[in-house]
Chain A
C-alpha cells in the first residue's frame, strides 16, 4: 500500500490516465461513504459502531491515492464540528461565570463567592482543554496512523515540536512521530485555547488584581497562558488602559491607588518574576502618583501605621507596608544595592526583548535577582524618586506624633524606626533616631528635675508634678512652627523654674520653651458642672483668662494672650463649640464680645456631655500643625534655587530639565546645597511655568519675557 501511495503521489497525472469508469465509481462511493461515516463519527453521540465501515471507505480511497483528500476532509469536518459544538459550549461556560462575577460585583457581595467562581472557572477551563487534547486528537492520531501517512512525512515533522507531540499518547502505543498536519492542528488548537483563556484573563485583569490574594488562581492561569503565547505586550497595553480609565482618575483616593499598585506588584511578580513588564505597567501609576501632593504622606502612613490595628482597612489585602518591612527583614541582606529601580524604562524594554526566563528549577524565592528586582518597598520608594524625601516626610510625621505625646511611651515608634532602618540604611534615619533618643532623655531628665525641685517650691500654687517636658534637640528636628502665646502667670513661673533647674543640672545647656506646643489637660468647674478637656496651650490660656473676668472683647483678650486677633477668633471657636463661651457682636463690628457661660441653661443641648472627660484635642483644624509641613520647607528651599534657575536661564537662554538639574547640583552648593530629585525639580519648574516666570516647550525651559 505504501508503494502504491508513493507512486500516486509522484505521478499524479499518470494515475489519472489509468482511472477507469469502475474505479471512478468506486472512488465516488467510497468518498460519499467516508463523508457520511465521518459525519456520524464526529457529530454523533460517541457512537463508534460505524468504525469498520469508516475504515473500509478510507482504505478504498487510499488505494486510489486520495490520502490527502481524506485527511483534509476529515480535519475540516472536525474543525467545523468543534466550532459548532465545542466552542459554543466552551463559551457558554464562561458566559455563565462572567455573568455571575458581574452580578456579584454589582451587588457588592463578599469576596469568597467570587473566589469560588474563579476557582470553578479555572477548573472548568482545565477540564476543557484536557478534553480537547484527549478526544479529537486521539482520534486524529488513530486515523492518520492508519493511513500510514506518518511514514512519508516523518523527516519533515520532526522539526515541529509541540508539547503534546512530545508526550507519548497512552491510547495509541507504538507511534513515534505524528504527522505534520496533526502537529500543526494540535498546535493551533492548543494556542487557540491558551490565547482565549489569556484574553479572558487580561480583560478582567483589573478586577482580578483588585481581589488579589483571593484571585491568585486566575493569575496562575494567566501565567501559564502567557508562558505559552508570549503575548506579554498585550497584557501591558490592556492593563495600562484599564488603569488609566479606572484607577488614575481624580476620583480615586491616593490610598486606593497605592493599594492597587501594591497588589499589582504582588500579582505581576507571579507572572513575571524578573519585573520587566511590571516596570512598564507601573510606570503610568508612578507618573500619576508623582503628580499627587499627598502621595508621600500616604506612603509614610502606610509604612508606619501597621502596628496600630488594621481596624479600618480590613477589606484591603496587603494593606500594611509595615508587614512588608517585617517580611523583608528576614530576606534583606544588602542595602544600597536596591537603588537602581529607577532604571530607564527604555532600557527595561530593551531588556524585555532580550529577556530570558530563569531556569524552571530555580526556586523563585531564593533567586537573588528576583528578590532585588521586585521589591515592593523599592518600587514604592521609586514613586517618590528618592528615599530622602520619604525619610523627610517620615521625620515630620514622627515629630508631630512625638510632640503630641504626653507620656513617654515610644515603643511602637522605636520598632517602626528599626524596621525602616533596615530598609533605608542607618545613616539616613539618624535624625529620627536622635528624635526618639530625645524622648528617652526627656523622660529621665523630667524625672530628675521633678525629684530635685519639689522641695524648693512650696509656696507655688501649682505643683511641679503637673509639668512634663519634652526636651528636643532642635537641630535635628524638622522646623517647628512656634507661635507666641502668653501663658497664665503661675504656669509661666513654673516653666521658668523648670528651665532654671534644667540649666543647673545640664550646664551649659539652656532650656527654651516652645510655649505654643504640647497639650494641656484641664478641668473646668462651673456652678452646675465640671468638664474635662485636653487642649493646646493656646486654648488653655484663653479659658484661663475667663477665670477672673467672665467677659472679654476680642481685642483685649488677644492682647492678654499675646496672639493676633484673627488667630484668637479662630482658636476661641473651640470653646464656643463646646458651649463654654458665647460670642456676641460688640460695639465695634470688628470687635466681638466673648462671655463665659456659667451654667448650662442656655446650652442645654450640650448638657449630656457635662462631666465626661473630653478626649478631643483642641486642635482639629487643618492648618494647626506643630511642625512645618514638608511642602512648605521644600518651597522655602526652592526659592533659593529659583534665583539660580532664573540666573542660568538669563545667561544660557534655554536649558533642558537635566541640564538645569546638573547645573544646580554643580553650582548650588553653598549653605543650602541642592539635593533634590529630578522629579522634584520638574514639579518645581512646572510651578514656575504656571506662575508665568518660565516657558516650557520642546523639552526646553525658557525665561518668560
Chain B
C-alpha cells in the first residue's frame, strides 16, 4: 500500500508541474475539492445512469476513467468509448481535461482524442459535474458541431450516415481491458 501511495504522490506532482503551479493559498481548499469529487462519485454511482460511467483510477481521485456507450439510433450505436478525465486542483472552478482514450472518428474529436466541446472550455461552469460532462459528450457523439471541426474528414463524411457508420466500425477498436 505504501508504495502505491508513493506513486500517487508523484503522479499528482506531475500534474501540478505540468499545469500552472498553484498558489499556496488555494491548497487549503484541496480538502473541499476532494470532498466534491467524492460526492460526485457517490452521486454518479447511485444515479445508475446507463451508458455513462466513470471511476477514479487506482488511488488518485483527480484522475478518472470514463466510459460512454454510443446512443441508440446514432452511427455510434453499439460502440463503447473510454475517456480519461483529469481534474485540476482548483476544480470545479476550472473544467477537467477530458480526452478520448479509444480512437473516436468524430468531427469534434481529433486523432489524439482531444475534444472540442464548449462546456469543457469557455462555457465551463462550476454547476457542471462529471455526470453532465459525460452526458454532454454522449450527446455530442450523435449531434456533432460541424462548424468548427477538429477532424475535417469526419465532418465532411457526416452527411453520408451510411458511409460514416462504416468508417466508425472500421476505426473502432474496443478496449481490451
Question: B-contacting residues of A (Cβ < 8 Å)?
Answer: 640, 643-644, 647-648, 650-654, 662-663, 666-667, 669-670
Q: Which residue of B lies closest to A671 (CB)?
A: B42
B46 on the interface (CB 8 Å rule)? yes
Closest to A643 in B: B45
B107 at interface (Cβ–Cβ under 8 A)?
A: no
Chain B residues closer than 8 Å to A647, beta-carbon distance: 44-45, 53-55
Whether A667 contacts B38 by the Cβ 8 Å rule is yes
B residues near A643, Cβ cutoff 8 Å: 45-46, 48
A654/B48 in contact, CB under 8 A: no
Inter-chain contact B53/A651, CB cutoff 8 Å:
yes
Cα distance A647–B65 in the bound complex, in angstroms? 10
Tally of B interface residues using CB under 8 Å: 26
18 contacts between A and B (CB under 8 A): A640-B46, A643-B45, A643-B48, A644-B45, A647-B54, A647-B55, A648-B55, A651-B53, A652-B55, A652-B177, A653-B176, A654-B177, A662-B4, A663-B56, A663-B58, A663-B59, A666-B56, A666-B61
Give the chain A neighbours of B53 by CB distance below 8 A: 647, 650-651
B54 contacts A651, C-beta separation under 8 Å: yes
A652: chain B residues within 8 A (beta carbon) = 55, 57, 65, 177
Q: Are B65 and A651 in contact (CB under 8 A)?
A: yes
Chain B residues lying within 8 Å of A651, measured Cβ to Cβ, are 53-55, 64-67, 82
Contact of A667 with B56 in the complex, beta carbons under 8 Å: yes
Interface flag for B115 (CB, 8 Å): no
A648 partner residues in chain B, CB cutoff 8 A: 55
Nearest-CB residue, chain B, relative to A642: B45
Known A643-B46, A650-B53, A651-B66; contact A662-B41, beta-carbon cutoff 8 A: no
B57-77 to A contact mask, C-beta < 8 Å, 1/0: 111010011110000000000
- Closest-by-CB residue of A relative to B1 is A662
Which residues of B are at the interface with A, using a C-beta cutoff of 8 A?
Answer: 1, 4, 38-39, 41-42, 44-46, 48, 53-59, 61, 64-67, 82, 175-177
Partner of B39, one of A650, A653, A666, A670: A670
Docked-complex contact B55 and A653, CB < 8 angstroms: no
Bound-complex Cα distance A157 to B58 (A):
65
Sample of 20 further A-B pairs with CB below 8 A, known A647-B45, A650-B67: A640-B45, A643-B45, A644-B55, A647-B53, A647-B54, A647-B55, A651-B53, A651-B82, A652-B57, A652-B177, A653-B175, A654-B177, A662-B1, A662-B4, A663-B56, A666-B59, A667-B38, A667-B41, A669-B38, A670-B39
What 8 A-B pairs are tightest by C-beta distance, nearest first? A653-B177, A650-B53, A651-B65, A651-B55, A648-B55, A643-B45, A670-B42, A647-B45
Bound CA–CA A640/B41 (angstroms):
12
CA distance A666 to B54 in the complex (A): 15
Using A640-B46, A667-B38, A667-B41 as known contacts, say yes or no to A650 and B175 having CB atoms under 8 A apart: no
A578 to B94, CA, bound (A): 73
Residue of A nearest to B177 (CB): A653
CA distance A647 to B67 in the complex (A): 10
The distance from the CB of B61 to the nearest CB of chain A, in whole angstroms, is 7
In the docked arrangement, what's the CA distance between A231 and B48, Å?
57
Report the separation of the CA atoms of residues A670 and B65 in the bound assembly, to the nearest whole angstrom. 20
CB-based nearest A residue for B60? A666
Using Cβ atoms and an 8 Å threshold, which residues of chain A touch B54? 647, 651
Q: Which residues of A contact B175 (CB under 8 A)?
A: 653
Contacts of B57 in A (CB 8 A): 652
Report the minimum CB–CB distance from A406 to chain B (whole Å). Answer: 43
Cα distance, A653 to B101, chains bound together (Å)? 14
Chain B residue at smallest Cβ distance from A670: B42
Chain A residues lying within 8 Å of B61, measured Cβ to Cβ, are 666-667
Least CB separation from B39: chain A residue = A670
Tell me, in angstroms, the Cα distance from A662 to B48 when the chains sit together. 22
